[in-house]
Amino acid sequence: MHQPVLAPSILAADFAQLGQQARAAVKAGAEWLHIDVMDGHFVPNISFGPVAVRALRSLADETGALLDVHLMITAPERYLEAFAEAGA
């Protein structure tokens, strides 16, 4: 039987301390980090773009964590290359 995977969302993090809080989640045992990318279309929030994902990719590479990037955006195909290049 497979073990469940817990991927804490970093959306609740203090964006001014995003790196520190993501690192704390990994240090506490998170093997995955969930990144909700929102553009205000499906939900009334705007969150992360490729630049933030690239910064979190560096942290993930350093710590061994995996990124689970959820594109809740209109026309995601327009942004696939940018997010893929950022390490999503």
Q: Is residue 4 part of a domain?
A: no
**How sure is the predictor about 83, in pLDDT bands with cuts at 50, 70 and 90?**
very high
Q: Is residue 5 part of a domain?
A: no
Q: What is the DSSP string of 10-52?
A: GGGS-GGGHHHHHHHHHHTT-SEEEEEEEBSSSSS-B---HHH
0.85 surpassed by pTM: yes
Q: How much is the pLDDT for 6?
A: 85
Q: Is residue 50 part of a domain?
A: yes
- Does the pLDDT of residue 53 top 90, yes or no? yes
Question: Mean pLDDT across the chain, nearest whole number?
Answer: 94
Domain extent for 26:
10-86
SS3 18: helix
- Which tens digits make up the pLDDT trace of 6-47? 899 999 999 999 999 999 999 999 999 999 999 999 999 999
Give the integer Cα–Cα distance in Å for 60 and 23: 9
Domain count, the chain: 1
Give the integer Cα–Cα distance in Å for 56 and 87: 9
Q: How much is the pLDDT for 81?
A: 97
Q: Is residue 1 part of a domain?
A: no
Q: Is residue 29 part of a domain?
A: yes
